[in-house]
Structure 1
Amino acid sequence: MKYIISLSLLLITLLVNGQENYSALTQKALETMWKSKDEAGYKKALDMYEEAFKIYPDSIDGTGLYKSSVIASELNDYDKAFKYIIPLAKMQPDEDGVAGWSYIIGESAQSEYKNLLLDPRWNVLKQNAIKDREKFHKKLIKIEDEFFKIKSYFFDKIPNGKMLYEKIKNHNPYLSKNQQNYSITFKVNDSATTSYLIHLPKNYNPQNKYPLLFFLHGAVRSNVLSDYQMVQENLGGWNRFYTKYADINDVILVFPKGGEKYNWMTPDDGFFMIPEMLKQIKTAINIDDSKVFISGHSNGATGSFSYLMKQPTQFAGFYGFNTYPKVFTGGTFVENIKNRSFINFSTDKDYYYPPNANDDLTKLMKGIAADYKDYRYNGFPHWFPQFGESEPAFQILFKDLVNRKRNLFPKEISWEFDDEKYGNIDWISDIKLDTLKLKAPWHQELNFKITSWIDYDKDDSLIVKKVNKDAFDLKRKSGKIKAKYENNIFYIETSRIQSFSIKLSPEMIDRSKKIKVYLNGKLYFTQQIDYNQEFMLQNFEKYRDREQIWINFINVKI
């Protein structure tokens, strides 16, 4: 018996290590493909993928087959391309694999496999893929209907605002779920759909509120939108520690799928997706509104940082592995972090963002008293989460997540932005810019220089290159607002701001007394405020937030 147990443990260890090593090799092949400038580079990347397949045949996954077939197609090696794409196309969308049809009739198939389109084998693949997709969608609709099924409820005919407030606060129409994992289709626009995978706690109880963590994947340029998500592709591999500690701590995991155009980094077209997915999820399962978090790796970590900088209201905290801490669609206004928090897990062998820049960012964050931490792991490359040695970082992340709650009604707010889509932070909303005005003396830029960068040379050895670049792009004029309240009195200072609104909660004010608003040192408003039921319902429909409930607002024009 002892021999059988030992043999089983050995096989499990070999399997896990094999998966780690396979992932490391294919990641290196992927990096080689990205850096390729000619046919020789693509050939080298394909050789690396094939070497990984040869050494670890039991670890071959859909992503590896997909990348290999695309590279072979680019090299006009049709037989080799079909060698990989045929088994890829046969992968079924079940609990343990990927649906291969999406690679054949997906968003990028026409461009990525353009060299194969006239081959008779392609048409056979396409026709089979269409049939497989139809079967799958019928099944998916039934599963999604069950996921979104809730008890009936109503908010009309409630006689007064106070009762409506309590009704929203105690809103719980949720039902038990038949599955632990759900792939949910998400409409991006009239012509594009994607999806997100939800992993529930094993004993999910709809009477309990649960923390929720979004994980944003990297490599957005090489990903394509998919209208389903794969369980093992998200929960296994280098995401295994997310799954392990989410299960231990009863945290709901959400894995959105982004693509080249619609994602969380650049361009801005897909930035709406995560808040909108959150709203959708809140209609179906019982989320703790004060414990919603975002994490990610690489481009996904940059996305997490970007939500912190641009749209943090619905979230309690942010995390990133191997982060490039910069907003790529506008200015990076780092003082916005003071409204929330960020924990970064960096490595000293990372080509994506250099350790010296992380050190300088940490100094900047310390200088503004931000809730920011950087944990450095030496000896590891950009794909650090794939290594077993990354587990302590996940322990740090989940310890912070368990103990952190969103500050629903912060006494002080500081917010800077250069795009009016992101002129909202907690109880200050709908901020409009006036960039023709001179900025206030206290409205200063925060930035630093990056002087060196890690890169790979032609022999794939790490080298340090001299650079001279700003950490953040600050090309557009921004506006900034500073606000605080105490004892029914609001003090607001603005710079390059035209107008804004103050949203109010009974947790912030004494409704029996007048509210005063001082704008740039002068009394602007003094009046008593009552419940506005129409406004309350509009806000609930917009955010589905049962904790940060707004009962009325004050419009302010400068």
Structure 2
Amino acid sequence: MKRSVLFLLGIIACAFLFAQGEESNQTTLTDLVSAYLKAEDEETRKQAVEALKKATSDVFELEKAFVNGIMYDKNVKCGWSALDAEAKDGKKRHFALFVPDKYDPKNPCALLLDLHGGVSRPTLIPPDTLQEYGKQVWEDMPNNNNLIVALPSGQAGATWWDPVGTSNVYETIRQIKRRYAVDDNKIFVTGFSDGGSGSFHFALHCPTPFAGFIPLNGSTLVAQYGGAVFPKNLANKRPLYVVNTTDDPLYPSEREKKVIDLLKNAGGNIEFTVYEKIGHRLDYIDKERPKIRDFIKKTERDPLPKNIIWMTDNPKESGRFSWVIVEEMGETGGEQPKLENLKFTQRLVLGVVIDQQYAGGDGAKVQEIQEGSTADKMGMQKGDLIVKIDNDEIKSFTDLRDALRKKKFEDEITVIVKRDDKEVTLKGKFPPKQEVDAFDYTKPFCSIEVKVTENRIDVKTYRVKRFRLLISSKMFPKDTKVEVYTNGALSFSSVVVPEIDTLLSYAASDMDRSMLFYGSIVVNLEEKKGEEKDEGKK
């Protein structure tokens, strides 16, 4: 409360000084903008908005102040520390943060978010553990290359690919930008195992803030938990640097290469590296560290691309790419884009999620049961402690994994579990081998393609009921008459009305000086009555 009051007094002081003359106007506006962007609670932000609106009604004058952004202090904490980010569920989760020793706000840093594995764990990884992991993986690379590294913390209910976990990552970026100067066009996401799959999720579903993606021993198949995977979404030229290994029992490179080839054929810019005779481990990181450094150095985001294609089955959570937003799906027709897919042999799994935090040394504790799986059919329950599979004693997750590697399709299996201090014997049988689609397209989905030629925007849609185009002065300067053609028909032809609320809203949520929007164009399409509904059939 005390901090908010002091913050508000600063805003009021800035507003008072605004009357000092034209020469000081922009400086004062910059101070007000800085206060607005630094605000971490709704009440303080509301007061900051009022101060900004009193200071000026000129959207383009205010836009110039947002280009200047936050006035950063040079005397800030460097090295390792821990901060909190509040996700959309209202909970604060810590993240570990490294800032280079020679940090200078006049030379904005690149930012690398490193997502940890085992993200379905019930509790958060302690910040000290995240810091130690970050030190081991990245060593001196961040300090020697003007690179800020952040390690967010995820958990069950806040995984990298669910809405809460995704919002946690976004808020982590905002929290860092409130304190440190970050190059908006050099933000990257990486991670190992679930962190690698999370990196794929952001590339395929939520890529707007990022310049590039570095999945390590991850899989696009896991990224499907965040929504259907549409390979064409990678045609927007945000590059990926991907590493997998031959002996990884979870995501073997032989299988992952087939997916990567599919993504490349759909337009993805992907550099793919495979390491031989390495399992689900980061044993290659010493060789990869300098390559990842070079990838970060050479890669820069185009924040406002003039050609965009975007597909989604969930507009609420993944309807946006850059300045194009699909807000609602509907039966509006249009030509269905081609869906890329391939067949896989279904992986042999027991169908359980193991509690990675359990360290009893007397078994593998079941955290979740997959509905319809072998474990489900044989009567396994959440909380069971697996102590034996066939003739193999199970003391840990590693023992469980090794025992299951011996099993084949249609094999019988006997599992002994401890339940309520009693041993219970369960019997079951694995299913026959099946060919399945790599990507699930059974849910309804939509697509939008956008092309800009001078002041004309051509839009092609499939099953899009409403979309929004955010208008930036970098693409469409003040007083430009913008024309929008949707599926060949003129849907907008006018000068876009500047809206201070649009500028303020996206400036706060994006915190991105290279993506500022002074207005928007909303297009609604009529649903076609009497047509058979498309349920996402291939």
Normalised TM-score (structure 2): 0.70
Write the distance in 2 (CA, Å) between the matches of 1:467 and 1:246.
Answer: 45
User: What are the Cα deviations for residues 369-393 of structure 1, in whole angstroms up to 9, with x where unaligned?
Assistant: 211121001110011x1x2x43222
What's the counterpart of residue 383 of structure 2? none
Write the distance in 2 (CA, Å) between the matches of 1:423 and 1:463.
Answer: 42
What's the counterpart of residue 510 of structure 2? 543
Query: One-letter code of the match for 2:99?
Result: L
Among 276, 287, 307, the alignment partner of 2:171 is 276
Q: 1:458 to 1:210 in 2, by over 3 A?
A: closer
Aligned: 1:526 with 2:526: no
What's the counterpart of residue 84 of structure 2? 185
User: What are the Cα deviations for residues 453-485 of structure 1, in whole angstroms up to 9, with x where unaligned?
Assistant: 599975586899765222122231101000010
User: What are the Cα deviations for residues 337-379 of structure 1, in whole angstroms up to 9, with x where unaligned?
Assistant: 1222222100000111132322211221232221112100111
Query: One-letter code of the match for 1:539?
Result: Y
SS of structure 1 residue aligned to 2:257: helix
User: What are the Cα deviations for residues 255-286 of structure 1, in whole angstroms up to 9, with x where unaligned?
Assistant: 01111221203x44322111122122211111
* Contact map agreement 1:482 1:492 (CA 8 A) in 2: yes
Q: 1:537 to 1:192 in 2, by over 3 A?
A: closer
Aligned: 1:308 with 2:203: yes
Task: Show the 5 A alignment for 1:310-325.
Answer: 310-325=205-220
What's the counterpart of residue 330 of structure 1? 227
What's the counterpart of residue 386 of structure 2? none
What's the counterpart of residue 4 of structure 1? none
Q: 1:303 to 1:239 in 2, by over 3 A?
A: farther
Q: 1:474 to 1:154 in 2, by over 3 A?
A: same
Query: One-letter code of the match for 1:178?
Result: K
Q: 1:161 to 1:269 in 2, by over 3 A?
A: closer
SS of structure 2 residue aligned to 1:335: helix
* Contact map agreement 1:210 1:251 (CA 8 A) in 2: yes
Among 96, 115, 120, the alignment partner of 1:216 is 115
What's the counterpart of residue 63 of structure 2? 165
Greater fraction helix = 1
Task: Show the 5 A alignment for 1:259-274.
Answer: 259-265=155-161, 267-274=162-169
What's the counterpart of residue 225 of structure 1? 124
Write the distance in 1 (CA, Å) between the matches of 2:500 and 2:468.
Answer: 17
Aligned: 1:478 with 2:445: yes
Write the distance in 2 (CA, Å) between the matches of 1:413 and 1:365.
Answer: 16
Q: Percent identity?
A: 23
Shift of 1:452: 7.0
Task: Show the 5 A alignment for 1:18-97.
Answer: none
Query: One-letter code of the match for 1:251?
Result: L
Shift of 1:241: 3.6
Query: One-letter code of the match for 2:258?
Result: D
Q: 1:401 to 1:382 in 2, by over 3 A?
A: same
* Contact map agreement 2:98 2:150 (CA 8 A) in 1: yes
SS of structure 2 residue aligned to 1:307: helix
Unaligned runs of 5+ in 1: 1-140
* Contact map agreement 2:241 2:295 (CA 8 A) in 1: no
Query: One-letter code of the match for 1:380?
Result: I
Write the distance in 1 (CA, Å) between the matches of 2:305 and 2:147.
Answer: 25
Aligned: 1:451 with 2:349: no
Task: Show the 5 A alignment for 1:231-270.
Answer: 233-237=129-133, 240-265=136-161, 267-270=162-165
Greater fraction strand = 2
Aligned: 1:497 with 2:395: no
Write the distance in 2 (CA, Å) between the matches of 1:338 and 1:158.
Answer: 40
What's the counterpart of residue 369 of structure 1? 267
SS of structure 2 residue aligned to 1:545: coil
Among 198, 215, 219, the alignment partner of 2:97 is 198
Aligned: 1:407 with 2:285: no
Query: One-letter code of the match for 2:494?
Result: Q
SS of structure 1 residue aligned to 2:320: coil
RMSD: 2.9
* Contact map agreement 2:448 2:460 (CA 8 A) in 1: yes
Shift of 1:330: 2.5
Q: 1:237 to 1:418 in 2, by over 3 A?
A: closer
What's the counterpart of residue 387 of structure 2? none
What's the counterpart of residue 515 of structure 1? 482
SS of structure 1 residue aligned to 2:502: helix
Write the distance in 1 (CA, Å) between the matches of 2:88 and 2:311.
Answer: 29
SS of structure 1 residue aligned to 2:215: strand
* Contact map agreement 1:330 1:476 (CA 8 A) in 2: no
* Contact map agreement 1:488 1:510 (CA 8 A) in 2: no
Write the distance in 1 (CA, Å) between the matches of 2:134 and 2:510.
Answer: 32
**Matched residue pairs, number?**
405
* Contact map agreement 1:356 1:452 (CA 8 A) in 2: no
Q: 1:238 to 1:229 in 2, by over 3 A?
A: closer
Query: One-letter code of the match for 1:154?
Result: L
Shift of 1:238: 7.5
Task: Show the 5 A alignment for 1:349-388.
Answer: 349-383=247-281, 385=282, 387=283
SS of structure 1 residue aligned to 2:203: helix
SS of structure 2 residue aligned to 1:362: helix
User: What are the Cα deviations for residues 154-186 of structure 1, in whole angstroms up to 9, with x where unaligned?
Assistant: 142135222212111112321121342221123
* Contact map agreement 1:319 1:342 (CA 8 A) in 2: yes
Normalised TM-score (structure 1): 0.67
* Contact map agreement 2:234 2:268 (CA 8 A) in 1: yes
Aligned: 1:286 with 2:196: no
* Contact map agreement 2:335 2:461 (CA 8 A) in 1: no
SS of structure 2 residue aligned to 1:258: coil
* Contact map agreement 1:320 1:345 (CA 8 A) in 2: yes
Write the distance in 2 (CA, Å) between the matches of 1:401 and 1:454.
Answer: 37
* Contact map agreement 1:351 1:453 (CA 8 A) in 2: no
Q: 1:543 to 1:491 in 2, by over 3 A?
A: same
Shift of 1:404: 0.8
